[in-house]
Structures are given as structure tokens and as C-alpha cells.
Structure 1
Amino acid sequence: SGAIEAIWGLAQLYGFTPSQHSRFELTGSFFNPGPYSGFLVAILPIALHYTLTGHRIARILSGVVLVLLLLVLPATLSRGAWLAALTGCGIVLSNYFHLYNRLKALFQKHKLTISITTICIFFLVTGTLIGIYHLKKESADGRWLIWKVSSTLVTSHPITGVGFGHFAGAYGEAQAAYFAAEKRPAGEELVADAPETAFNEFVQITTEIGIIGLLLFLTIIIGAFKAARHSNSKAATGMVGSLAAFLVFACFSYPFNVLPLLVLFTLLLAQCTPMQPGSRWLSGIFYTFLFLPVYFLATGQQEREQAYKRWKSEQIYFNMQIFERTVDNYKKLYPLLKDQPAFLFEYGQCLSRTGQPETSNLILEEASQLSADPMIRNIMGKNYQTMKQYTQAESAFLKASRMVPNRLYPLYLLAQMYNESGQIDKAISTARLLLEKVPKVPSSATEEMKRDMQKLIKDHQHEHANPTYHGQL
């Protein structure tokens, strides 16, 4: 599978096969270069291990796979994958060449030389890490912000977490509170976004299911490493290297949210545990009982699968803005898809566009529990504005602007709401705040919003300068 993915990636690099993403030319069979690089790097230590220790045919085949992986992996530009590759391959090479014992013997004989060499290696590694950081500085800063804000969630829910699957919604609230608490550096505002994951599985596990969940997870990992260490299997070192590479990659990405990587992780854990002798009959009975609930769960998903298909067909009409037709069909799909934030957002918009703002806000409130997207709060604010509930609209727009402070649209809506409700001073101050902000991604839309705000300020200044004319109006 590693060889197939590597060849697939090479074909994409040379233009023989299309990418799975419009912004990236290298994705393999995945939707993004991130998970793709994670899959490759988890195979790399196994390929290296069999290249070093396998028999003739196995060694040749593994060597070919190793070369293919090394050709593709640098092109993914995934710094987390590069660090994971160094870790996993380092474990394999250290075990094969008995580096620990050799370095220990050398240190006893040449303490001064080894100490100087260690210091030089330390500075070299530090410089390399700094260079990797500056390769995609904004991305690294963005992830650091995510981890910092996530730590506030861990502090507020240390034992049980915010709930499995509720990271994004809780994160949106936490980031809004983070930026509302005090004035933050401009750099933090610029890299803020609405992530669906923590880009660190250990952080996400702790945030969602608390310290108890993290300890249980670490117990499984430590148990697998201990089992592999006491195993007599020749493949154990390769599996340990691959599992270590996977876990290092998991510190910088979201592999547990990608099914092929989750399956790979499970297989690596299983391979680290040696086979235990036992009765074939007992094993057969155990796997039969294990298979039954899986079978019933799988067959019970047919209705949900049909709901996804109907949703996809309805999205055509949603994108065409035929909301009257779509809203009734979305209502039928709601019981099956109410755990999907994208569906809830679309359903809420349909309700809003068909004159049902109150019902729309109930659905969008559910969506906000599962997503950090500030557009949910923007639509809720517009619904409140339609119902003339200006205080609630103000609260929704302010929260949206604080969730991702580099976006101009929430402030634009807020200024318009203030203007409509007669809060002119607030409208002008909000318009000026918008004009001061530098958008993360400049576009014609952001320029149009700034022009509208300049016009709003100019109109009110003109009215203030001509009170007689204003009275006639």
C-alpha cells in the first residue's frame, strides 16, 4: 500500500494523474497532502527495517519501496512528517547498529570529544528546527495559537473534557473569549482561524475526553511499546519505529480523523503485541461474537448512507438558492444528519431565507456546538436583526468577530445593524475599526466592505454638518 501511494504521488508530481485537491498537486489517494504524508511516513520505518534485515527478495522489494517513499516524502512539505520520519528511522537504525551501546563505550573512552560532538549536534538540530519553523511560519504560529486556546478548555474541563466530537464548537467559544479578554498581538489575530481539529491528537483527546481519557490512551500506547520490547518477533523493531513515527506525526496533524490512518494505527498497535497461544475454537467463538455487533452496526447505516446521497442531490438546489424547495427536504433529513455541522448550517440558512428566523436560530445554535465557523453566528445575528432583537444581534456579531478577528464581515454586519437601529455613534466607531483592520486574504469583497464603511462614515458626517437638512429628512 505504501508503494502504491508513493507511485500515485510521483504520477501526480509529473502530471500523469490528477490531484484530489485544487490547491495542492500532491495528495496521493487522499484529499490533502497532510494525511498523505502521514500515511507514507508510517510505512517508511517498516520499509527501512526490512531493507536492513530481510531475506534477499524481501530486502530488494523493501529497498524499492524505501526509495519510492524517500522520493515523494520531501515533496509533501510536511514538517511534522519529516520529524516523524527522523524519529521512526532513528529508532530502526539505532537498534540495527546498536548505537546506544557503541556511543556509551565511546563516551567512556573519549568523554571530551563526545561531549563537544553532542553540543555541536544539539546546535545543528536546533538550527534545523528553527529553519523548519520559518519554512511555514504562519502555519506554525496558527497551530501554536490553537494549542494555547485549547489549554484554556483543558483548564476549564480537566477531568471529563468538553465531550467527544465537540472540540470545534467548544474551541470557537474559547477563542472568542480569548480575544475578548484583552488586546492580543496583531500576529495572533492574523493567524487565527476556525479549525475543526486541534492539529495535535494528544491535545484533542485531552480537550474532548479529559485527563482520564488521555491517561487511558497513553496506557494503550505504553503497553504496545512494552509488548514489542519483550517480543521475539524480528519485525518488532520496524513496527515500533512506525508506531513512533505515527505518534510524532499525530503531534502536528489529525490522523485519527482520517479513516485509513486510523486503521493503520490500529494495525501497528496489533503488530506490536505478540501472538498468544490458545485454542482455535475459543478464538473462533471470540471473533464471531466480535463480528456480530460490527455487522449489525454496518447494516444499520444504510438509511444514513441514503440520507447523505439525498443531501448531496439537494445541495444542487441549495447552491442555486432555491430555498423554498430545499427547506422541506432538509427537514426530512434532519433526524439522520443532525450531527453534521455543515448540514445544520445549510438547513439554518434555508430556514432564514424562507422567513423562519426563530427556527433557523435553533438549528444554528446546534451547529455552533459542533463548529467554530463564525458564519454561523453571522447568520444568527442577521436573524435577530430581522426580528428587531438588536441586543441579541449585537451579541452574535461581536462573538463572530472575536472568534476569528481577522475577518471583516462580522464587523461589517455589526456596523449595518447599528446604523439600522439608530445607534449612529456605535456604527461609526465599528466602521472605523473595520477600516483599520488588515484582512488575512484581501479580495474584491473586502475592498467593497471598506468602501461601504467609508460611505457610511461620510454620510453621517455630512448629516452632522448639515443638521437642518437632517431634520428635513
Structure 2
Amino acid sequence: MYLLLLAVVLAIVVSGSRSGVLTIAIVLTIWLYPYISFKLKSKILISVCLILALLGGGYFLKKDSADGRLLIWRCSLEMVKDLPFCGYGINGFKAHYMDYQANFLMEKPNSGYMKLADNVSSPFNEYLNIMIKFGYLGMIILILGILLLIFCYCKDPKYEKRIALYSLLSIGIFSMFSYPFTYPFVWIIICLDVFVLMRGNIVLNIQKNYKNILYVFAIAACSWGGIKLYQRINAEYQWGKIAYSTANENLAIYYKLMPVMGNNPYFLYNYSVALFELNRLNESLKLASFCNRYWADYDLELLLGNIYSKMKDYDMAEIHYRKASLMCPCRFVPLYYLYELYKEAGNANGMLSVGRSIMDKPVKVNSMQVMQIRNKVRRELSYIDIN
């Protein structure tokens, strides 16, 4: 048992997961707490110092990454502030976060976050995620659920229940800095822990007739869920076969999959890209705009900019390219597209201004794409200067 525990601890440390190390440190501290023969004040002081040391070490170990998360939390709190009670719904974070990040960076261009901001799909904090999705109401329900589980443990503090409580505690701590709820395995563990904690405490006395009704309802619900799951898996499979191809015949498959996949922003984005590459611009724009209801995203803004650019609506294209640039200020592609847009529109001043911005922009990752963009812009600006 202890060897297994040691192996788990070593694996977490070797993985380099700061959240994992902090989680295991706190859980081990609580577990060892009764066995440490210090006075209460000394125990508390040592525990607090250990946690603060780990937090500080984790921050300075990967400072840029930590600052990036601070930006995400800051923008996420702005979301909560704007819709505090009921939240934005299940897909609230994906649908709105990048807009908030763009607005924040537009208002605070010298905040120091410009080089750190990137495309974000999670708030890196499950509690913030709950508040964004369901508001304070969701948090109240969560807190009541936690209190119920603690009550169940206190009422019958068996060893297996203590282990279940430690398990939930570790998930709870890890949830402060990451997104464990995106993994089905975590949900399975949570369900098992909850079952262990509540077993023997929550007893339902249901008459036989009502039990039969519940059984029928459960079977019907499972059958319906199974059908929906099969439809979804089949649709995902068919989509996977055509996702990287834009052949005209694939559009019929995209259209056929819309009833099942029509609320999936990634599917809508792919469908819109396929239409765009086949030059069906009006349909592509309609679908991309519909996708924007579910998904505020850097790539989607670039796509919208490309559609408008091809439709010769340069003003709208400029808006979307600039928004993409604000969403991810460290990236060169939006500025390059804007540069090409001004060149195509004959806007020499805009072209020169954006071109100089590209050349002056700090490089976060010196990729081949970035080098090609900068080399091309440098040549063209040099040619303009000579003439």
C-alpha cells in the first residue's frame, strides 16, 4: 500500500505538474496530520508555510504560464461579474471568454499579458467554470453537495469513507488550477466516491409500484441515451472521414450531419471552412456567423475575416482580423492578413503601419511561418522605402 502511494507521489513529481504536486502535498499533510506530534499551532504554521512555499515555487518555476492563468482568471471573473446569478449556460465559457480577453487586452495594451495571451478553451479552474456556466446558483448547489458529503462522513466515519473523502479532496484541490472535469475517468471516480460516502446514510423507501415505474423510466431513459450516443458516435465517425477534405461531394455529408452535430462549434467551423474553400461564400458566412453564437475563437475570427475579404467587404474583414489579433496578440497571422488586406484594398498607409508593427513585434515562437511572414514584409517594405 505504502509502496503504491510512494510510486504515485513520485510519478506526480516527475510529471512536472505543479497542480498535482500541490494537491498531493496538501492531501498528504491532512492524512499525516494526526500522526505528527507537534502542537496544534505548530502543525498549522508548518502546513501553511509548506503550501505557500509550493504555491510560490510553482509560480516562479513557470512564471509565464502562471501569469497566463492569472490573465484567464481575471477575464473569467469579469464574465462572472457581468452575469453573476445564473451564468451563461453549459457552453458559456467557449461562447464568450475570448471576447472578454480581447476586450481586456484592448483596454490594457501595456498590461504585460500581450505576449502571454493565447487561444483558450478552459478557465483552468473548475469553480470559476461552474460560476461562468451556472452563476452563484451553481456554486451554492455545489457547496450544499459538499456539505452533505461531509455530513455523511461525519455520521459514519469509516476508513473507506475517509479514503473517498481524500479522493474528492484531491480532485477539489486539483480543480483550482486545472480542468479535471473534462475527463470521463474523473467523473467515474467522483461517482464512486459519492456512492461510498452516501452509502448507509441516504435510504430511499419507495413502494413497489413506484419502483416499477422508476425501473421503466430508467430503462426508457437509458434506451434514449443509448440511441443518442450511437447517433453521435456515428456522426463523429463520418465527420472524421471528411474533416480534412473539401471535395464538393462532402458537403452533402456535412448537411446530413447537421441535425446531430449542428450544436458542435468545431463541426460548424469545419463545415464553414469547406464551404469557403469551395467559394460558396454566402453559405460559409452564414454558418460561421451561426458558429460564433457557440464559440468565440481566434481561428473563427480569422475565417470570418477571410470570408469578408474574399467578398471585398474590407471594413468587416478588418474588424475580424483586428479582433483575432487582440484575442491572441502574440500571433503574427492576423497582422499579416491585415497587411495583405490593406495591400489589396490599396490602403498604403494602413499597409505600412501594419507592416512596421509586424517587424517591431516581439517573437514568442520563431516558427517557419513567422520567419516567412517577416521576411516577406521586410522585402516589401524595403522595396517601398527604395521607391
Same fold (TM over 0.5): yes
Instruction: Look up the match of 1:349.
Output: 273
Query: Which runs of 5 or more residues in structure 2 are unaligned?
Result: none
Mapping of residues 147-158 of structure 1, within 5 Å: 147-158=73-84
Question: C-alpha distance in 1, partners of 2:74/2:173?
Answer: 19
1:80 corresponds to:
19
Q: Take 1:264 and 1:118, find their aligned partners in 2: how far apart are those partners?
A: 30
**Structure-2 change in CA distance of 1:381 and 1:279 (3 Å):** closer
In 2, the alpha carbon distance for the partners of 1:446 and 1:131 equals 33
Alignment CA distance shift 1:224-1:379 (3 Å):
same
For residue 385 of structure 1, report the CA deviation from its aligned partner: 1.1
Provide Cα deviations, 1:395-449, integer angstroms capped at 9, x if missing partner: 1101100011101100110111111112211111111111111232211110111
The residue that corresponds to 2:140 in the other structure is 215
1:164 correspondence with 2:103: no
The counterpart of 2:60, out of the listed 127, 130, 134, is 134
- Residue 195 (1) aligns with residue 120 (2): yes
1:349 and 1:360 in contact (8 A); partners too? yes
The letter of the residue matching 2:141 is L
Q: Distance in 2 between matches of 1:334 and 1:179?
A: 35
CA contact (8 A) 1:167 1:370 kept: no
The aligned runs of 1:61-460 (5 Å cut-off) are 62-95=1-34, 97=35, 106=39, 122-123=48-49, 125-186=51-112, 188-275=113-200, 276=202, 285=212, 286=214, 289-316=217-244, 318=245, 322-460=246-384
Cα root mean square deviation, aligned: 2.4
After superposition, give the CA deviation of every residue in 1:17-58 in whole Å (9 maximum; x if it has no partner): xxxxxxxxxxxxxxxxxxxxxxxxxxxxxxxxxxxxxxxxxx
Aligned 8 A contact 1:172 1:403 in 2? yes
Q: Identity rate of aligned residues, in percent?
A: 24
For 1:369 and 1:442, the matched residues in 2 are separated by: 33
- Give, in whole Å, the separation in 2 of the partners of 1:122 and 1:300: 49
- In 1, Cα distance between equivalents of 2:382 and 2:247: 37
For the residue of structure 2 that corresponds to 1:435, the secondary structure is helix
Please report how far the alpha carbon of residue 63 of structure 1 lies from its aligned counterpart in structure 2 after TM superposition. 3.4
Asked whether the 8 Å contact 1:419–1:427 carries over to 2, the reply is yes
Mapped contact 1:307–1:333 kept (Cα < 8 A): yes
CA distance in 1, matches of 2:283, 2:346: 27
Question: Does structure 2 retain, via aligned residues, the 8 Å contact 1:194–1:372?
Answer: no
Asked whether the 8 Å contact 1:87–1:244 carries over to 2, the reply is no
Instruction: Give the distance between the partners of 1:375 and 1:151, measured in 2 at CA.
Output: 24
Q: CA deviation at 1:287?
A: 5.5
Are the counterparts in 2 of residues 92 and 238 from structure 1 also a CA contact under 8 Å? no
Q: CA deviation at 1:94?
A: 2.8
Which string of whole-angstrom CA distances, capped at 9 and with x for unpartnered residues, describes residues 257-298 of structure 1? 111111211221222223245669759644664343123211
- C-alpha distance after superposition, 1:287-314 (max 9, x if no partner): 6643431232112332222111111111
Pairwise CA distance, 1:347: 1.0
CA offset digits 1:160-195 (Å, max 9, x no partner): 212212312201111111111232334x11221112
1:29 maps to which residue?
none
Q: Which moved more, 1:445-454 or 1:64-73?
A: 64-73
Aligned length: 384
Secondary structure, counterpart of 1:369 in structure 2: helix
- For residue 119 of structure 1, report the CA deviation from its aligned partner: 5.5
Whole-Å Cα distance in 2 between the matches of residues 119 and 442 of structure 1? Answer: 46
Q: Distance in 2 between matches of 1:281 and 1:87?
A: 45
Conserved in 2, the CA contact under 8 Å of 1:414 and 1:430? yes
3-state secondary structure, aligned to 2:115: helix
